[in-house]
């Protein structure tokens, strides 16, 4: 799987939601710094990732590493941005666009919090 990164300012961190079969998720919304700001929602589903969001607050500029996930249910299609790591953004940038990178580049300076993925990480 390819990992992607996204930088933005935290607008909102939601409470943890619990579903059947002990499935939990916690969502976070980042806002871009553009003429027409975008509000992008990510979800963390691993217990470590859910708890890691407690280390951050609204207004912080962060970088999220994520997987693009898709599914079909009863003829409807869904796309999710599944967060696997979050860290404070190291340096200010003028553009906050999503970019595709290699797993090593994306994750080299971030702590992975989602250990339930099939793909084994190299560390």
Q: What percent of the chain stands above pLDDT 90? A: 64
For 83, the domain range is 3-107
Asked whether residue 93 is assigned to any structural domain, the reply reads yes
Stretch 61-89: mean pLDDT: 95
Considering the domain boundaries, does residue 121 fall inside one? no
In a domain, 32, yes or no: yes
Query: 114 CB contacts (<8 Å, ≥6 apart)?
Result: 44, 45, 46, 48, 49, 82, 83, 84, 85
**Structure tokens belonging to residue 41:** 């929602």
At 106 the pLDDT is: 52
Q: How many domains does the chain contain in total?
A: 1
What's this model's pTM, rounded to 2 decimal places?
0.73
């Amino acid at each position: 799987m390819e990992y992607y990164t996204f930088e933005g300012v935290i607008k909102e961190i939601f409470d943890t939601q619990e579903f059947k079969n002990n499935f939990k998720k916690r969502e976070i919304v980042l806002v871009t710094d553009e003429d027409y700001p975008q509000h992008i929602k990510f979800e963390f589903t691993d217990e470590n990732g859910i708890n890691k969001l407690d280390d951050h607050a609204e207004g912080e500029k962060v970088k999220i590493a994520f997987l693009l996930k898709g599914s079909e249910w009863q003829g409807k299609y869904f796309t999710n941005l599944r967060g696997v790591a979050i860290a404070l953004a190291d340096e200010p940038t003028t553009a906050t666009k999503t970019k595709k990178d290699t797993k090593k580049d994306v994750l080299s300076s971030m702590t992975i919090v989602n250990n339930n993925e099939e793909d084994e990480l190299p560390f």
